[in-house]
Amino acid sequence: MLIITILLVAIGGVVVFLNCSESDIYRNFKAEMQEREGRTAQAAGLCAADEINRLPVCLKDFCEFIGLAGTPKHNITHCLFRQADFVFNEKKGVSIRMDYDLWIFADCPHREAFCKSAIMGIPFEGVDYFDTTTRSGGMKGYIAKHFQLFDQKAPNMERTMYLTLLAENAMLNPSFLLSDFIEYEDVDSASCRAAITFNGVSGEGVFRFDKENGVLKFESQQRQTEELEDGTVRYIGWRCEGGNFHSGNEFKVPSFCKVTKIFPDREVVYFDAKEYELELKK
């Protein structure tokens, strides 16, 4: 009995230590983001009314709604989502709660993120990464803050990254909507097509702004893939949205951020965050 008690106490101590200490993986991630921050140019000027007036009607209405005119432009978005609901595997119904540390760099569009969670009390960490040298990326997963579980490469990751940061920055750092990397085409008064291009890689989707309910959505058929049972991969729909905008430090920001996979027969909300800390830099 004494031996069992000692083992349980030892195991409990290890679990507490693993959950309280910061991993080398996360420290390295933060150091890399800070190094990239040091290389990022300072954004120039304010968001001018004449720039906003050149946007499609729906985005012009959105920028007016959040009060973007006259606010500083920023080249860095740092957002820490806390206790976001994340569907890890929609086929098996596996979901987790996680903290998600997101970094977006706007001068040379780039995005990376770090997630922290736990599975049965054991820390799980993941890195959404993109290697600018090989122009490839995906997600790496680690268990117990030391052991790599997987390195899942994503097809067309560069395009995926540009579309993702376009959708996220529209809500979190909307001065990015004025970027020269983006071209627009009106669809109607409530929606427009947006195409982002950098380093010869392009992706496109559709913005929709619901003025009455104050909800911004971005949907693309080029962002999300699904692997079928026979091993083939097909593209499915993907939607990022934010709503219930409220006053922030410079402009109105969303009370929630939600991301959905759109399958032919169903929709799965796989990221749902209602609590976050937003910092705009440079």
- Domain ranges for the chain: 25-281
Helix (H) or strand (E) holding 240: strand 233-243
Place of tokens 């219930």: 244
Place of tokens 């976050």: 276
Q: Residue 120: left (phi > 0), alpha (psi -120 to 50), or beta?
A: left
Give pLDDT tens digits along the chain (282 positions): 544 433 333 344 444 444 557 999 999 999 999 999 999 999 999 999 999 999 999 999 999 999 999 999 999 999 999 999 999 888 888 899 999 999 999 999 999 999 999 988 999 999 999 999 999 999 999 999 999 999 999 889 999 999 999 999 999 999 999 999 999 999 999 999 999 999 999 999 999 999 999 999 999 999 999 888 888 999 999 999 999 999 999 999 999 999 999 999 999 999 999 999 999 999
- Whether the full predicted model's pTM is greater than 0.85, yes or no, is yes
Give residue 3's pLDDT. Answer: 47
Say how far residue 222 (Cα) sits from the centre of its chain.
16
Q: Which residues contact 177 (CB under 8 A, 6 or more apart)?
A: 55, 59, 63, 169, 170
Alpha carbons 139 and 127: distance in angstroms, whole number: 5
Alpha carbons 162 and 140: distance in angstroms, whole number: 19
Alpha carbons 25 and 157: distance in angstroms, whole number: 22
Q: Which of 142, 112, 137 is nearest to 126 (CA)?
A: 142
Give residue 253's pLDDT. Answer: 98
- Write phi, then psi, for 120 (nearest 5 degrees): 55, 40
Q: How many Å from the N-terminal Cα to the C-terminal Cα in the chain?
A: 60
C-beta separation of 257 from 273 below 8 A: yes
What count of Cα atoms within 13 Å lies in the side-chain half-sphere of residue 30? 11
Alpha carbons 88 and 71: distance in angstroms, whole number: 37
